[in-house]
A and B are shown apart, each in its own frame.
Chain A
Amino acid sequence: MQFALLIFESPEAFAARNADENDPYLGAWRAYYKALVEAGVYVGGNPLQPPETGTTVRLKGGKRRVQDGPFADAKEQLGGFTILELPSLDAALEWAARCPAASIGAVEVRPVSPEFKRRVTG
């Protein structure tokens, strides 16, 4: 079954993306990606631009509401996601613990919902 690892990162972690090639955070991410692919569990995923590039849209009482930035004003923001194919939640938590963001931010593990996808995509 598929799990999404939702990567929550601090402003410092977002800033580290612009660091030079030898930055340990970048190195850790490259290694993590390689380990996921070689273990045959990687399905897909993408990093996201920093939260201030986000724009949130809502319709309230029929009126459009557009807000700069992300929905919630939290210290750690969604920085990316990874989809993994794994036999169990236990295995997903193990991979989440190895994620470089786990020790400086947080990683939320959520099962992908194929049932709802089928209802949407037909």
Chain B
Amino acid sequence: MSRSEQESTHRTIERVARESYGRLVAYLSAHTRDVGSAEDALSNALVAALETWPRDGVPQNPEAWLLTTARRCFIDLVRHRQVAEASEPTLALLRDESKHMTLSPEFPDERLKLLFVCAHPAIDPAMHTPLMLQTVLGLDAARIAHAFLISPTTMGQRLVRAKTKIRDGGIRFEIPRERELPQRLDAVLEAIYAAFGIGWDDMAGVDQRGRDLAEEAIWLARVLLQLMSGEAEVHGLLALMLHCEARRAARRGPDGRYVPLSEQDCQKWSRPLIAEAERHLADAASRGRNGRFQLEAAIQSVHAGRARSGGVHWNAIMMFYEQLIRITPTLGTRTGYAAAVAEARGAEAGLAALGGIDPDDISAYQPYWAVRAHLLQRLGKTPEALDAFDRAIGLTEDPAVRNFLLERRG
């Protein structure tokens, strides 16, 4: 095999691994609930693919090949463990299953169940997103650890603990019943959005890992949409992330400087992504069930309108925030509302809205101090503004944002 053929084989393996990872892990663990072993088995199968495919050529159905190989590894792994843990029921289940298991690529897509398992109420909410990134997308613990600002060892241990809980804690691979569905789906959406949020904040300098994570979150939302295309909030979440993603190129100046939304050159926004976001938002609206992500997407949609009209309809944004506060009165929502009030009704009114937030909640919340600093500065209240700028600067992690605030502070 020539060098270029080998490279193309490697690319094929990467592509199949990426596209099939979650499907294969979900399928292998759906009945045994043993996510950890399913992942181990799949990674063995991927190693085998790296060894044999460049030599023997890529099989006709790469996914089926991986599944067969991973199943064999999985049975070996469980058998191995059986000595210590007597997991006869698991083995029986596997044998039973292999009877009607053929090499057909048409194995059921269990990823939706896996997503619900990852965001199960019995699992620590802080682990929902890391679990999804690992089990559905195959990200390794070290990379997830970087994004979550946790040591790689600790993240590895927390992931193992969460998977043990899934295996031994009676968490079932199933789609929640209708009664529980909205709340359970909300947890899944939250976890996907958390991955996007980290990717979004964390794009300092040349570091690419943040960007990757935002893309992974969009990928997860697309997977979820394939599986639940009737849910308005799934469309809403995807619309929200696409709107933000559309502005990526405009968020930094050529020298890496931070550019706030109001000063972004809308020529640099991605029209195709905005159009796609708008389609999903319209689809969501047609279903007649409003929700948090649709409202957040609607706010971003108003901002995107600046590319057409040259202005921002702040009254509309304020109204969407009012609805949003009724659903999720979080710090972020209330701070965003105050910023919108300031634009629609003036800086005094914005400050008054900020004043309604409990001071105990904001001692380490950067956006509150940034908004407060800008409003005080606009009102000419210099000493108070300087103080608020310092608080915002001291709480900022991204050096580009820190420099931006330092310059504004003067």
Residue of B nearest to A90 (CB): B150
- Decide yes or no whether B305 CB sits under 8 A from chain A: no
Q: A31 contacts B391, CB within 8 Å?
A: yes
Min distance, Cβ A13 to any Cβ of chain B, angstroms? 13
Tell me which residues from 379 to 410 in chain B have a Cβ below 8 Å from any Cβ of chain A: 387, 389-397, 399, 402-403, 406, 409
A54 part of interface (Cβ distance < 8 Å) = no
Which residue on B lies nearest to A98, using beta carbons? B397
Chain A: interface secondary structure?
A: helix
Whether A31 and B397, one on each chain, are in contact in the complex, defined by CB atoms closer than 8 angstroms, is no
Tell me, rounded to whole Å, the shortest Cβ–Cβ distance linking B313 to chain A.
Answer: 34
Q: Which of B204, B392, B402 counts the most chain A CB atoms within 10 A?
A: B402
A34–B391 CB distance below 8 A = yes
Number of interface residues of A (CB under 8 A): 23
Segment among A22-30, A75-83, A113-121 that sits at the interface with chain B: A22-30
CB <8 Å contact, A32 and B394: yes
**Structural contact, B394 and A35, CB atoms closer than 8 A:** yes
- Is A112's CB within 8 Å of the partner chain B? no
Query: B245 to chain A: closest CB distance in Å?
Result: 24
Residue from B150, B395, B396, B403 within 8 A of A24 (CB atoms):
B403
B363: chain A residues within 8 A (beta carbon): 38-40
Check B181 for interface membership: any CB of A closer than 8 A: no
CA distance A104 to B400 in the complex (A): 12
**Set of chain A residues within 8 Å of B205, measured between Cβ atoms:** 103
Q: Is B1 an interface residue (CB 8 A)?
A: no
Binary flags per residue of A12-55, CB closer than 8 Å to B gives 1, else 0: 00000000000010011011111110111000000000000000
Q: Which residues of A contact B316 (CB under 8 A)?
A: none
Is the beta-carbon distance between B390 and A34 smaller than 8 angstroms? yes
B402 to A: closest C-beta gap in Å: 6
The reply to whether B409 and A34 contact each other, CB–CB distance below 8 Å, is no
Q: Is the CB of B406 within 8 A of A24?
A: yes
Decide yes or no whether B149 CB sits under 8 A from chain A: yes
Q: A27-B406, A28-B402 are in contact. Are A38 and B391 (CB under 8 A)?
A: yes
Contacts of B151 in A (CB 8 A): 89, 93
Residues in A neighbouring B409, C-beta threshold 8 A: 27
Q: Would A30 and B150 be within 8 Å (CB), given that A40-B363, A98-B397 are in contact?
A: no
Is A93 touching B150 in the complex (CB atoms < 8 A)?
Answer: yes
Closest 9 interchain pairs by CB? A35-B394, A31-B393, A31-B394, A31-B390, A103-B399, A32-B394, A39-B363, A34-B390, A97-B397
What is the interface of chain A, defined by CB distance below 8 A to chain B? 24, 27-28, 30-36, 38-40, 89-90, 93-94, 97-98, 100, 102-104
Extra 4 A-B pairs, beta carbons < 8 Å, given A39-B364, A40-B363, A98-B397: A31-B391, A34-B387, A39-B363, A97-B397
